[in-house]
């Protein structure tokens, strides 16, 4: 196994099949890094970094913390409802 900590990338022998880091220290560093990345992402959103809707690629409002704009969210919801109705129709 190669340690997933990019600063380390050391070859090591995994003691368990899901071991991804050579040491607890590397695991801790990587977890911290992930937390920081999440933190900066949230901060960027708050600062008004432009984000695009995953549905229509229109710009998202900085107050919208979802990947879709309000319109696409509504669209998705109504589609979901329709699917649900379809299922109910199939049953009855
Ligand atoms: Zn390591
Ligand atoms: Zn949209």
Question: pTM of the full predicted structure?
Answer: 0.49
Ligand nearest to the CA of 76: 2
| Residue 30: predicted pLDDT | 95
CB 5 within 8 A of CB 30: yes
CB 15 within 8 A of CB 6: no
Ligand nearest to the CA of 59: 2
CA of 36 to the centre of ligand 2 (A): 28
CA of 52 to the centre of ligand 2 (A): 8
CA of 62 to the centre of ligand 2 (A): 14
CA of 70 to the centre of ligand 2 (A): 7
Q: Mean pLDDT of residues grouped by 10 in the chain (92 residues)?
A: 93 93 96 94 82 91 86 89 83 74
Alpha helix (H) residue ranges in the chain: 24-46, 70-91
């Amino acid at each position: 196994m190669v340690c997933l900590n990019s600063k380390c990338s050391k070859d090591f022998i995994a003691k368990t099949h899901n071991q991804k880091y050579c040491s607890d220290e590397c695991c801790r560093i990587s977890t911290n890094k992930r937390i920081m990345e999440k933190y900066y992402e949230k901060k960027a959103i708050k600062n008004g970094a432009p984000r695009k809707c995953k549905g229509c690629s229109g710009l998202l409002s900085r107050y919208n913390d979802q990947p879709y704009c309000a319109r696409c969210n509504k669209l998705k919801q109504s589609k979901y409802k329709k699917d649900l109705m379809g299922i109910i129709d199939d049953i009855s």
